Amino acid sequence: MTSVQLDEQGSVTTPAGFLAGAIHAGVKYDDPERLDVGLLFSERPCAAAAMFTRSTVPGAPVIVSREHIRAGRARAIVTNSGVANVATGEAGIRNARTMCEAAARKLGIEPDELLVGSTGVIGWTLPIEKICAGIAALQLERDGGSKLARAIMTTDTRPKHVSASFEAGGRRYHVGGVAKGSGMIHPDMATMFGFVTTDAPVAAGFVDSLFRPIVDETFNMMSVDGDTSTSDTVVLLANGAGGGDAIGAASPAATPLREAVFGVSHWLARALAADGEGATKLIEVRISGARSAEEARRAARTITASPLVKTAIYGNDFNWGRILMAIGRSGAAIDLARATVAIGDVLAYRAGEPQSPPAEVALAALRGPEVVISADLGVGDGRAVGWGCDMTEEYIRINAEYTT
């Protein structure tokens, strides 16, 4: 997929000129180990791009962040977990603005240079005093990115952060990212939270067109449960702290830059899928032979969101018919007389005929922490890759008991 070297110790503060910090403010839980307010800051102004949920019920932080990114000069992100600040009326909008103002005051910048993200229970009111006290008290650190990755977690079982680097024009640049996911994950435009930074001098006019297609192939190709969050937010901040000439679409450096941003986004998307609520396995779906890339994407996303595929994978059940069912439901064109379906290296269906691999061979394709589903639809050249996870009793348990 990518030849970029990734560093799983890295994060959003690996690129030069970015600081981050986090603190326990007691938003939802009393456990002092549980970080729940975070802050990411660039010492220099950034070229920025952000994509948000397509939900018709966006959260107050999404509404406020959309306003701010319009000014085109975001250079900090303030976050909390525990309460999502969604469907909270005018008071919710005020609280999102208050978080930006508190962070701006601390950082000595303007409130509209802040983006804001809240994740957690929908419909609850933020404990805004606690959050503002937390913002004031937290320490920004040169290597605070992994703390920020912890502070945005909800039901995630582990923090997700990574970095990459590339050379261009005799200089070494860095790209870093953090993300959180776990449930209500079927991004439509962007995922829950995915924050990516770089010290490369990306031209202001290039940052959106660089990032958007990468988001479409990474964060937007991942599903945990088919439910699209009200708070999905993905951001790229490029601060140019690495020096050198601005990188535009036509620059030679655009290629390694794109590879590094893709590598970081791709790693984070897979990590989000693998840590889906209750998941025991990562599922990678590779579609080829579709009538178009768009149909390939739809087929891949429908497979990764199908409860019947997900439960079969959980049960090590070589029930490939459900894969065809999901393709059929997606609306993607398929020629059953030419189509192929495989799980791992084991053919399940080819050219109109079900295959019958020995039971132990079929089982071997399903065991292990990652299951690859491949399907060629036999009607064109469209391709896509998507990620999901299996569905287990633990998903039910987590979500039957979430707010209480």
Which residues, numbered 303-332, are part of the site for its own copies (CB under 8 A)?
A: 305-308, 311-312, 314-315, 317-322, 324-332
Distance between CA atoms of residues 262 and 79, nearest Å? 24
Q: How many residues bind its own copies (CB under 8 A)?
A: 71
Q: Name the active-site residue from 14, 119, 191, 233.
A: 191
Site for its own copies (CB under 8 A): which residue of 5, 139, 157, 403?
403
Assess 122 for contact with its own copies (CB under 8 A). yes
Assess 169 for contact with its own copies (CB under 8 A). no
Task: Please confirm, yes or no, whether 79 is among the known catalytic residues.
Answer: no
Please report which helix (H) or strand (E) contains residue 173, including its range: strand 171-180
Angle (CA) 62-65-66 rounded to 5° is 85
Please report which helix (H) or strand (E) contains residue 135, including its range: helix 128-137
**Cβ–Cβ under 8 Å, residues 289 and 380:** yes
Assess 401 for contact with its own copies (CB under 8 A). yes
Please report which helix (H) or strand (E) contains residue 68, including its range: helix 60-70
Angle (CA) 58-71-261 rounded to 5° is 75
Q: Which is nearer to its own copies, 16 or 60 (CB)?
A: 60
Of 255-294, binders to its own copies (CB under 8 A) are none
Of 330-349, binders to its own copies (CB under 8 A) are 330-334, 336-337, 348-349
Query: How many H helices and E strands in the chain?
Result: 11, 16
Bridge-based pairing of strands 37-42 and 18-23 is antiparallel
Assess 353 for contact with its own copies (CB under 8 A). yes
Assess 364 for contact with its own copies (CB under 8 A). no
Site for its own copies (CB under 8 A): which residue of 43, 188, 208, 216?
188
Encoded one letter per residue, x for contact with its own copies by CB under 8 A and - for no contact, window 25-64 reads ----------------------------xxxxxx------
HSE-CB for 184 with a 13 A CA cutoff: 19
Assess 246 for contact with its own copies (CB under 8 A). no
Assess 216 for contact with its own copies (CB under 8 A). no
Which residues are part of the catalytic machinery? 191
